[in-house]
Chains A and B, each alone.
Chain A
């Protein structure tokens, strides 16, 4: 079945460092891809998304490009801030999965990012 694999954490960076969190996926159809962020004590919030190959999602300085040839959707940010400390989840939505035509979300295990001043 469909699955998402993302790099193990935790990741600890200094402020203004470059961030990459790797995400690869397996899907039978043509999924949409997402990055969600979870701040301490809160629910998940959509960070960015891409719906087809070569699309680039971006938000708050974060970017990720849908690479069908490598089945990847790596998250990047050029200069992280302390306020970026959170858990980041890569996810896919495939209409063939649970949830019928809506397409249930399948999540990676999450990567905890800590940014030190």
Chain B
């Protein structure tokens, strides 16, 4: 699992409240990603980071922000949660090899917004 830990694993929150999900890695990989997984959509990229304080938007970034103040931690924040953000969120890191890159995923966080 490349030492990736997501917390919390499950969360139920109310509409309009802020929520922060944490991804922690133990191997100092430079690239980290946040995806959301929804039925019929597969996995879609929310934000990614290519270093401390270096982040950029993905395909579905609206309503989300991220921060990376340390190499090992990548935080995803929903400033004001909405029901459309009910989803399973996966953090991933990528490892660059000679011919390609390989991604490793955390166990996921199931978020329910009521």
Known: A32-B100, A44-B90. Contact between A99 and B107, CB under 8 A?
no
State the main secondary structure of chain B at its contact with A: strand
**How big is the B interface, by class?**
20 to 34
Closest A residue to B58 by beta carbon equals A98
What is the CA–CA distance of A100 and B99 in the complex, to the nearest angstrom? 16
Measured CB to CB, the closest approach of chain B to A41, in angstroms, equals: 8
The residues of B that contact A107 with a CB separation of less than 8 Å are 42-44
Question: With an 8 A cutoff between CB atoms, is B74 at the interface?
Answer: no
Give residues of chain B (73-110) contacting chain A, Cβ–Cβ below 8 Å: 90, 92, 94, 96, 99-108
What are some 15 contacts across the A-B interface (CB < 8 A)? Answer: A42-B107, A43-B106, A44-B103, A46-B104, A52-B99, A98-B48, A99-B94, A100-B50, A102-B30, A102-B31, A102-B101, A104-B58, A105-B92, A107-B44, A109-B42
